[in-house]
Amino acid sequence: MISLESEVLERHLPLFYHKSVLLTGGINDQFPQKLAQHCQSVQVWSCYFDYARTQSTVNFSIEFQGKADLIIYYWTKNKQEVQFQLIQLLANAQDGQEIFIIGENRCGVRSAEKILSPFGDIAKIDSARRCKLYHFSLKNRPHFSLDTFWKTYQHPQLQGLTIHSLPGVFSANELDVGTALLLSTLNQPIKGKVLDLGCGAGVIGSIIKKANPKAAITMTDIHAMALESARKTLAENQLEGEVFASNVFSNIEGKFDLIISNPPFHDGIDTAYQAVTSLINQAKRHLNQRGELRIVANAFLPYPDLLQQHFGKFEVLAQTSKFKVYSVKN
């Protein structure tokens, strides 16, 4: 299966013949394998571990230093992340670098014209499958410095912590209301091993570590930008914790006394429950005896049924008109 974006690219295969090609951005299908039959070489760079772990040759990182005759960029709805990646690619490219930008109309791909026009020539060359395809040629290379993209913020609820985040990370610029509600329930001492699953910039795990220095904190996420943000949040606040990539429990070993999460419920611009369903389905086997799973979720989402199904009963620790904090014990 290939995506709508890749179906549009497939209409232009002769443009890629016998060239080195880099595919990056929001790519999430098998198109690189199909393209490899026609190209001199194919590279893939992704910031998303759920995609990278299923492919054999994906560079999973926040920065990419490689070169290619052609770059194919899959647009995403996260404009901050798009700008971070495109500026980085252009700064590392040679004059005349060709880039094809493909994206769904509903994801705002038309913004490519405004973002890229200061750096070269951009023109739409196809429109199909509710997508647009642009061709870009580099003339004016921008400067890229990772340091300039870091954002920081503080909040009264964060007990003096400074949160550090890169573009595209959830709750990158301020404490989101769901996490704030979840944090309001952390009013008892926490001991043992804690897993902050889908850690984002590391807010939850860092707060727990600051208030409970003897707790052993593990933070995971699928997003390379989030992982780098969580590491920096820990380091800059003189806290210790383990941070690594995992697609829900894919790379997690052992059991925990507390699994805590503000899990994502958006996939692209669609609501998706797969990650949270996996989290609830598999949590039991990763909890110690009398261990707890605690999550915050939009009140309209059907998580009570899942929690009841897998744990028998659940408790609502806090709620607003929009969010609920659920707790279940093993």
Mean pLDDT of 223-245: 98
Average pLDDT across the chain, whole number: 94
DSSP letters along 277-298, please? Answer: HHHHHHHGGGEEEEEEEEEEEE
Q: Which domains does the chain have, with CATH numbers?
A: 4-146 (3.40.50.150), 150-329 (3.40.50.150)
Q: What CA–CA distance (Å, rounded) separates 190 from 213?
A: 9
Residue 273 has pLDDT above 90, yes or no: no
pLDDT of 271 = 46
pLDDT of 54 = 87
146-177 b/e (C-beta count within 10 Å ≥ 16 → b): eeebebebebeebeebebbbbbbbbbbeebbe
Q: What CA–CA distance (Å, rounded) separates 213 from 99?
A: 48
Q: What CA–CA distance (Å, rounded) separates 164 from 229?
A: 6
pLDDT of 277 = 87
pLDDT of 299 = 87
Residue 193 has pLDDT above 90, yes or no: yes
Inter-residue contact 49 to 223 (CB < 8 Å): yes
Round the CA-based radius of gyration of the chain to a whole number and report it: 21
Over the stretch 65-123, which tens digit does the pLDDT of each residue have?
Answer: 999 999 999 999 999 999 999 999 999 999 999 999 999 999 999 999 999 999 999 99
Mean pLDDT of 262-277: 67
Residue 266 has pLDDT above 60, yes or no: no
Provide the whole-model pTM: 0.94
DSSP letters along 130-145, please? Answer: TEEEEEEEE-SPPP--
What is the percent of the chain with per-residue pLDDT over 70, rounded to a whole number?
A: 97
pLDDT of 272 = 56
Task: Please state whether beta strands 98-104 and 120-128 pair in parallel, antiparallel, or not at all (unpaired).
Answer: unpaired
Mean pLDDT of 222-237: 98
Q: What is the DSSP letter of 321?
A: S
